[in-house]
């Protein structure tokens, strides 16, 4: 029989917050912390041992306890929690029973000090039962459990009612004269502020003492600011992590992930809110139509599906992205052009794009398109079939590539970074849109918003609500992300931006020579700028996110 790795005699909490968590006598305890803070080890390895150690001696002079552990799914239970448990308590120490997609249990015996001050060591018997909700209700999973204590792992993914049902089960284990209930505890990474855990931990803080509840908030892994990021010296468990653990974990990650998973901050409440609340339509949309110059290179942003959309975009010499036109296919039965046609195939979609390109942008060259990555799947390769985007590309004779990512926040950050940064020439945003783009105006004006929060699914990650304007906004976002590139966006280093403004394009003070202001207020060169040779102050790069 193997030996247990976890020894309660030498266990040291990873930080002061974890120590207070262990020492608390509150009936319900919740702890939030960043990744790597050892909260799982504290709550689901140390706590079961402590539960057994705090029991009263039975007639045989043994302290016995049964601890329950609850997870959202058996897949996650066996993929994350049980491997952590076995790092500290090997399978062959005692008797472990369990296999995929079903409950697990571990029976073990160990000697430990007495918690009431009695000198010496005593025998403890501990049984840990691990269950998951799966498709069952909390009530059904908890029914019949007789426990001395229970923990909920990743509590943000489990209905808040779990603590109510478990609270009635942790005072049922063993005989009353020998039982000392350890209560209910849980750990989690902070979700959005519309989650019930935020209500319980923050908004109802004044009732914590009355409810015999205590919330423990670990320090974040990074100091405010960045990139570049700086490790928070107050973060817990640093002594067991690589020196650059949190800095490397945050590198290249979207802002929501860094905020919630590394900084240990509550996410923003986005239920029903606009995705781009910072959009100022008076500045974002031009007063008059702006046309690209003859010979300019344009690119496309495309969203697939049954109601596809396309935006035709360009980049000025100063690095500004301009959306010149949008392509959406309206329902012909709607004369007011508010409803989109559903079930549009790739050939019909390509024809609509080609019609606009051949009439309005015949003197420009469309060099590439960036499409929804999901629209590149679903084709039968063995039979030579093309996906939706590949079919569009073939009919347009324009190469269309998947956007660098289908991750929502990365795409939103691409659009937001252009929307909020100012062009060095005229002080207007680096992203401008022609006023004829009706669907984009509607979407950026607030119609493109997050779906409403479903109280029956508190752990569900919200997505943008589908509407008539959502497809055009998403097509525009794929174009923004594709033109910037993932590396430039996540690193914050504009050297990766293939459209970084050339140093020769900076307008001098006053009325710049070689520049003219359009009727819409945008400064543009009066003639194409000559190409510069390396070493003369210009930027050139052959970097590509695809090569």
Please give the pLDDT value at position 497. Answer: 61
Q: Phi and psi dihedrals of 335, rounded to 5?
A: -65, -20
Alpha helices in 127-190 (DSSP H): 138-142, 161-167
Kindly report whether the peptide bond that precedes residue 227 is cis, defined as omega within 30 degrees of 0. Answer: yes
Which residue bears the tokens 């699914």? 457
Question: For 62-80, what is the HEC assignment?
Answer: CEEEEEEEEECCHHHHHHH
Does the pLDDT of residue 223 top 60, yes or no? yes
Which one has a higher pLDDT value, 137 or 2? 137
Q: Using an 8 Å Cβ cutoff, are 42 and 120 in contact? A: no
Give the span between the Cα atoms of 473 and 494, in whole angstroms: 24
Q: 185-194, 208-217, 486-495: lowest mean pLDDT where? A: 486-495
Answer for the pair 323, 313: CB distance below 8 angstroms, yes or no: yes
Residue 191 to residues 155, 157, 215, 547, Cα–Cα distance (Å): 10, 9, 15, 37
Q: Cis (ω within 30 of 0) for the bond into 228?
A: yes
pLDDT(383) > 70: no
284: enclosing H helix or E strand: helix 281-284
13 alpha carbon, distance to own chain's centre? 29
Question: Do 94 and 108 form a contact (C-beta atoms < 8 A)?
Answer: yes
Across 331-365, b (16+ Cβ under 10 Å) vs e yields eeeeeeeeebbeebebeebbebbbeebeeebeebe
Of 89-93, 110-114, 192-196, the least confident? 192-196
- Taking the C-alpha atoms of residue 439 and residue 468, their distance in angstroms, rounded to an integer, is 7
Q: Which CATH superfamily is domain 16-218 in?
A: P-loop containing nucleotide triphosphate hydrolases (3.40.50.300)
Q: Is the pLDDT score of 488 beyond 90?
A: no
* CB neighbourhood size of 426 (10 A): 18
User: In the structure encoding, which two tokens stand for residue 56, read together?
Assistant: 């009263």
pLDDT above 80 (res 150): yes
> In terms of DSSP bridges, do strands 309-315 and 321-328 run parallel, antiparallel, or are they unpaired?
antiparallel
pLDDT value, residue 534: 33
Check residue 539 and give its pLDDT.
31
Tokens of 132: 């998951």
Burial class of residue 251, CB neighbours in 10 A (0-12, 13-18, 19+): middle
Of the listed ranges 26-30, 169-173, 457-461, the least confidently predicted one is: 457-461
CA distance 328 to 398: 19
Delimit the CATH 3.40.50.300 region(s) of the chain.
16-218
526 with 510: CB under 8 angstroms? no
Residue 501 has what pLDDT? 55
CA distances from 436 to 289, 326, 504 (A): 7, 8, 32
Buried b (16+ CB within 10 A) or exposed e, 209-239: eeeebbbbebbbbbbeeeeebebbeebbbbe
Q: Which helix (H) or strand (E) holds 433?
A: strand 431-433
Could you say which architecture CATH assigns to the domain 281-452+462-491? Answer: 2-Layer Sandwich (3.30)
pLDDT of 115 strictly over 50: yes
Closest CA to 50 of 130, 110, 4: 110
Q: Name 438's Cβ contacts closer than 8 Å, sequence gap at least 6.
A: 326, 337
Instruction: Report residue 277's pLDDT band, with 50, 70 and 90 as the boundaries.
Output: confident
| Alpha carbon distance 43, 130 (integer Å) | 13
Report the pLDDT value the prediction gives residue 237, as an integer from 0 to 100: 97
**Edge-first strand listing for the sheet containing 309-315:** 400-402, 365-371, 297-303, 309-315, 321-328, 431-433
Domain(s) labelled CATH 3.30.420.280 in the chain stretch across: 281-452+462-491
Average pLDDT over residues 16-23: 96
Which whole number is the average pLDDT over 105-131? 91
CA atoms of 368 and 300, how far apart (whole Å)? 6
List all residues 6 or more positions away from 233 whose beta carbon is below 8 Å from its beta carbon: none
Distance CA 288, CA 523 (A): 14
pLDDT above 60 (res 509): no
Strand pairing category for 95-97 and 321-328: unpaired
Residue 482 has pLDDT above 80, yes or no: yes
**For 212-216, 376-380, 428-432, which range has the lowest pLDDT when averaged over its residues?**
376-380
Q: State pLDDT tens for residues 301-332.
A: 999 988 999 999 999 988 899 999 999 998 88
- Assigned token pair, 39: 């909260």
Give the pairing of strands 365-371 and 297-303. parallel
Could you tell me the pLDDT band of residue 153, with boundaries at 50, 70 and 90? very high
């Amino acid at each position: 029989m193997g030996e247990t790795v976890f020894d309660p005699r030498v266990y040291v909490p990873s930080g002061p917050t974890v120590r207070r968590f262990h020492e608390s006598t509150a009936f319900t305890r919740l702890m939030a912390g960043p990744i790597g803070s050892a909260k799982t080890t504290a709550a689901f390895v140390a706590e079961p041992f402590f539960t057994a150690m705090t029991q009263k001696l039975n007639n045989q002079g043994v302290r016995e306890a049964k601890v329950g552990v609850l997870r959202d799914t058996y897949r996650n239970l066996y993929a994350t929690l049980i491997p952590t448990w076995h790092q500290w308590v090997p399978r062959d120490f005692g008797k472990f029973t369990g296999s995929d997609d079903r409950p697990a249990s571990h029976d073990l015996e160990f000697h430990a000090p007495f918690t009431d001050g009695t000198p010496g060591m005593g025998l403890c018997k501990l049984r840990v039962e691990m269950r998951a909700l799966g498709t069952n209700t909390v009530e059904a999973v908890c029914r019949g459990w007789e426990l001395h204590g229970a923990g909920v792992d990743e509590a943000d993914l489990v209905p808040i009612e779990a603590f109510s049902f478990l609270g009635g089960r942790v005072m049922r284990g063993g005989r009353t004269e020998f039982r000392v209930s350890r209560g209910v505890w849980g750990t989690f990474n902070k979700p959005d502020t519309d989650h019930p855990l935020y209500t319980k931990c923050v908004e109802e803080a004044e009732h914590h003492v009355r409810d015999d509840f205590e919330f423990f908030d670990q320090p974040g892994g990074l100091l405010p600011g960045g990139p570049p990021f700086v490790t928070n010296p107050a973060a817990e468990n640093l002594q067991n992590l690589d020196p650059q653990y949190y800095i490397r974990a945050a590198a290249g990650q979207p802002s929501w992930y860094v905020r919630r998973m590394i900084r240990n901050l509550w996410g923003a409440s986005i239920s029903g809110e606009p995705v781009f609340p910072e959009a100022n339509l008076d500045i974002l949309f031009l007063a008059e139509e702006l046309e690209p110059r003859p010979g300019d290179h344009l690119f496309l942003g495309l969203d697939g599906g049954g109601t596809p959309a396309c935006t035709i975009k360009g980049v000025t010499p100063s690095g500004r992205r301009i959306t010149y036109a949008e392509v959406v296919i309206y329902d012909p039965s709607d004369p007011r052009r508010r409803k989109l046609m559903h079930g549009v195939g790739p050939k019909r979609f390509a024809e609509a794009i080609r019609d606009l390109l051949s009439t309005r942008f015949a003197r420009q060259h469309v060099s590439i398109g960036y499409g929804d990555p999901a629209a590149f799947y679903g084709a039968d390769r063995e039979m030579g079939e093309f996906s939706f985007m590949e079919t569009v590309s073939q009919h347009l004779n324009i190469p269309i590539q998947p956007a660098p990512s289908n991750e929502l926040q990365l795409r939103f950050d691409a659009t937001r970074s252009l929307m909020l940064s100012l062009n060095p020439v005229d002080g207007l945003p680096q992203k401008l849109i022609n006023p004829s783009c009706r669907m984009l105006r509607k979407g950026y004006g607030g119609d493109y918003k997050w779906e409403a929060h479903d109280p029956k699914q508190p752990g569900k990650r919200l997505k943008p609500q589908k509407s008539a304007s959502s497809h055009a906004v998403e097509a525009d976002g794929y174009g923004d992300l594709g033109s910037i590139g993932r590396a430039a966006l996540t690193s914050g280093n504009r050297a990766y931006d293939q459209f970084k403004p050339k140093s020769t394009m900076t307008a001098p003070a006053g009325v710049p020579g070689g520049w003219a202001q359009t009727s819409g207020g945008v400064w543009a060169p009066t003639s194409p700028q000559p190409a510069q040779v390396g070493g003369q102050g210009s930027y050139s790069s052959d970097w590509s996110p695809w090569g």
